[in-house]
Amino acid sequence: MKIRLSLFEIFLLETIAWLGLWLLSDYVAALLTLILGAIVSAVLAIALISEAIEPSKVPKKYFQVMLLSILSIAVAAAIYVTLLGGEMDFLSGKF
């Protein structure tokens, strides 16, 4: 059984997963947001550059999902920070 998810569904699932991580531990979520955001951005940039140099048979959806992954990380972080008014536990010393 193959499940084909639309780009919007992928974005929602990733955003929900990131928000869950932010709710569990804002410290771990902040670290992973910076680290994974940078890694996924670098991979996407390298893939786009190599695609511009020599086109491959990589589906267009790959690039769209990579971009949505970056956006879902940023959106989840923005939602969490907005809801808390910019106050995070690990910055205030409350654990």
> Has residue 9 been placed in a domain?
no
Token pair in block for residue 53: 């140099």
> Has residue 42 been placed in a domain?
yes
> Has residue 7 been placed in a domain?
no
Token pair in block for residue 16: 């929900």
What is the rounded CA–CA span in Å between residue 26 and residue 23? 6
> Has residue 43 been placed in a domain?
yes
Q: Contact, 75 vs 15, CB < 8 A?
A: yes
Residue 49 is part of which domain span? 14-92
User: pTM for this structure?
Assistant: 0.84
> Has residue 68 been placed in a domain?
yes
Write 56-63 long-range contacts (CB < 8 A, 24+).
61/7
> Has residue 4 been placed in a domain?
no
Q: Contact, 72 vs 43, CB < 8 A?
A: no
As for how many domains the chain has, the answer is 1
Query: Which tens digit of pLDDT belongs to each residue from 41-94?
Result: 999 999 999 999 999 999 999 999 999 999 999 999 999 989 877 677 777 665
